[in-house]
Amino acid sequence: MSDLLVSADNISGIKNDLFLQALKGNKVERPPVWMMRQAGRYLPEYMVLKRKYDFFTRVQTPELVCEITLQPVDIIGVDAAILFSDILVIPQAMGLEVQMNEGQGPLLPDPIKTPEDLQRIVVPDVAERLHYVMDAITLTKKTLNNKIPLIGFAGAPFTILCYIVEGKGSKTFDKAKAFCYQHPIAARQLLQMITDTTILYLKAQRTAGADVLQVFDSWSGLLSPADFESWAQPYLLQIQQALQPFCPVILYPKGSWYAMKDLADNGTMAMGVDWCIKPQFARELVGPHVTLQGNLDPAKLLQTTAEIRTDVHNMINAFGAQRYIANLGHGMTPNIPVDHARAFVDAVKEWRG
Ligand code: CP3
């Protein structure tokens, strides 16, 4: 690891703290890089564990979480690790059954369909219900030995509501949206329960050792700007305001470019963006003080490694190297060759301003 990566005000004790410096807005020699869904099915090493243990066994066993979290650190050379887990551990902890079926994605066999169904869920004691996550963070931090920072995460309340009401993945989540519009009081009660649980959960992740927290609003882009303001933003901001005093928080409201200015005006310090917005426009919307993260279309990783390199350099030049974290615009897909993931990371490391 180059000594240059350790900046003068390295107070975290982390050897490569580029990611933390970019979040703080300190000057860096190159942008840090990591990839959403960097731990997963495109890695043969992950597939070995996937064949041996079912999904929730992998998620609930700290030794497996630690091993899977560190795989892309060793194999791809990213500047930040993200804990291997899933956003759906929250509905599980609140009392709903969640299955992860091969080839079908998540299934909640008994979703919330009516306001009365809310009686079936609770704001849980997260230390008790999700202790395995905190144990995994402690073990992973110890094993990382301050090499790079560790990202903890949760789903945003609107995205979690989508799964809790729809019961499975969907392109439109029309049942979930209809629940909000037909039962607004119950929907707000549900969003507040998810928010309260998520704040407790992320605080516990921070206490266990997570250096940065990311909140995934993967489906917020299905909302109109006015509905985002009503059904997503208030809950995202509650989480941001509760956690940001303790550590950097990155909000990733996928598809909701229209909300970026408002989120920045409300104190959001870092935002993830997808590929449907021009880097220059994203910067105009949030102003000079927000760190931006993104935004290569993961499908572009199927190009040749030379093309990936050109795209990455263009992306960095468009965002600018400061207050910027190189990443994809959404998660890695299983069909991406490992060499191409490595080419993405190497291209960031090779970039010179
Ligand atoms: O990024 C990482 O490397 C950390 C691990 C991580 C997973 N899920 C592991 C996982 C993270 C950050 C998530 C978040 C997550 N989970 C989101 C938000 C991010 C996004 O992609 O928008 C969402 C919407 C989910 C819900 C979820 N979990 C879905 C829709 C699926 C099925 C996806 C599929 O392609 O099958 C999952 C399962 C899941 N979570 C897998 C992994 C590696 C794949 C299943 C497996 O490996 O057995």
Tokens in use for 150?
């560790």
- Per-residue pLDDT band at 7 (split at 50, 70, 90): very low
User: Is 231 near ligand 1, meaning CB less than 6 Å away?
Assistant: no
Residue located nearest, by CA, to atom 34 of ligand 1: 105
**How much of the chain exceeds pLDDT 70, in percent?**
97
Is the confidence at residue 335, as pLDDT, over 60?
yes
Work out the average pLDDT over 190-209: 98
User: Is 105 near ligand 1, meaning CB less than 6 Å away?
Assistant: yes
Residue type, 239: I
pTM of the model: 0.96
User: CATH for 2-350?
Assistant: 3.20.20.210
Q: What is the pLDDT of residue 34?
A: 98
Helix (H, G, I), strand (E, B) or coil at 299: helix
Is the confidence at residue 103, as pLDDT, over 90?
no
Work out the average pLDDT over 203-209: 98
Dihedral sign for Cα atoms in the order 257, 262, 265, 268: negative
Q: What is the pLDDT of residue 10?
A: 57
Q: What is the pLDDT of residue 175?
A: 98
Q: What is the pLDDT of residue 11?
A: 59
Where do the structural domains in the chain lie, given as residue ranges? 2-350
Residue located nearest, by CA, to atom 43 of ligand 1: 40
Q: Mean pLDDT across the chain, nearest whole number?
A: 96
Work out the average pLDDT over 280-288: 98
Q: What is the pLDDT of residue 6?
A: 40
Work out the average pLDDT over 167-192: 98
Q: What is the pLDDT of residue 176?
A: 98
Residue located nearest, by CA, to atom 48 of ligand 1: 55
Q: Give residue 168 CA to ligand 1 midpoint distance, Å.
A: 13
Q: What is the pLDDT of residue 2?
A: 39
- Indicate the top mutation candidate among 84, 86, 254 to test ligand 1's pocket, ranked by most ligand atoms within 8 A of CB: 86
Q: What is the pLDDT of residue 5?
A: 38
Cα-trace Rg, the chain: 19
Query: Among residues 64, 69, 85, 86, which one has the least CA distance to residue 34?
Result: 69
At CB < 8 A and 24+ separation, what contacts does 306-314 make?
A: 308/340, 308/343, 308/344, 308/347, 309/343, 309/346, 309/347, 309/350, 312/344, 312/347, 312/348, 312/351, 313/347, 313/351
At CB < 8 A and 24+ separation, what contacts does 184-189 make?
A: 185/115, 186/114, 186/115, 186/118, 187/161, 187/231, 189/115, 189/118
**How much of the chain exceeds pLDDT 90, in percent?**
95
Is the confidence at residue 108, as pLDDT, over 70?
yes
